[in-house]
Amino acid sequence: MMFLKGGHTVGPISPLRALDDLYCQVLSGVSVNILSTTMRILGLVVIDRHGLGSADDQVRFLGLDQVTFRRALQNLHSVVYVPPIEESNATPLRIYHASFSDFLDDVRRSGEFHLNKEAAKYDFVLQCLHWIENDDGSPDNKALGNFSVSRGWDACCNLSDDFVPGLVSRLERFDFNCLRFVGVGSGFASFLQWLHSLGSTRNKSVIRVGWRLFFTRPSNEIRLEHQPLSVHDFDLAPLFGCMSQSGWSLVGLVWGSYTLCAKAFTQFGRSSVTIFLPIGRQSPIFLG
């Protein structure tokens, strides 16, 4: 094969150069019309090597169908293991050798086939937010919802600055109320802290934080005050994911129902509760 022999190059070539030529030739066989989809798939595999446990989950996570998925990979079987249909519900897509990932990551070697890992991370984050919102409790969606909750918040915090404005724009449309049903995961507290640290100019007040609802006994006085968000509030955030265990799911968290909510929280020995108000949504998130 000419590309392994160095083409018209006189003398021996390095093994790395031969490998790069091989990978370039393999990727050159991918149709231009579907190359972007191929790179999306490869991006997911590179940045999430041990997450999604089957090719079927990988397909659905990216919002693809099996036909498109397999067409995008049909020329890559020499470098990527694509499970046959009968195994795709239990076996994930995987790259055979780390050298292919290294090649994709190094623009000097891969050129037009360079994989922008920061863009792949952004794509990953957007898909996580999609599946958190669309977890309707069905087995397939629940699996992707749980995966997205466990990985998505940390992924948000690790985005490069170039992709933060796009993420904030997406968060402005995100239905935070869905977290009351799917949970928030261990990374949610860090995510809130990261989002708050951006400042109101950059985060566009996606979350209005620092409101505290007080309920005092025996006078039954209720008041809503604005207070700066504290480190303690962030420490409490993971408790929100344990609502069903503490019985909070029985509390009607409807915007404006301050009295009912405050009284309900006293059942758990709490005199106050922190409220996070996602912009444009009718229901707040209660922590405390």
The 10s digit of each residue's pLDDT in 22-50 is 999 999 999 999 999 999 999 999 999 87
Where residue 257 falls among pLDDT bands split at 50, 70, 90? very low
The pLDDT value given to residue 155: 96
The arithmetic mean of pLDDT across residues 164-185, rounded, is: 81
The pLDDT value given to residue 32: 95
d(CA 39, CA 87): 23
Element housing 134 (H / E)? none
d(CA 100, CA 110): 10
Q: Which amino acid is at 248?
A: W
- The answer to whether the pTM exceeds 0.75 is no
The pLDDT value given to residue 41: 98
The pLDDT value given to residue 206: 66
The pLDDT value given to residue 35: 97
> Is 95 in a helix, a strand, or coil?
strand
Q: Domain limits of the chain?
A: 2-115, 126-287
Q: How many CB atoms lie within 10 A of CB 153?
A: 24
Q: Where are the alpha helices (DSSP H) in the chain?
A: 2-5, 15-28, 35-47, 55-61, 66-73, 98-105, 107-110, 117-133, 139-157, 164-171, 179-182, 188-197, 199-203, 231-236, 243-246, 258-266
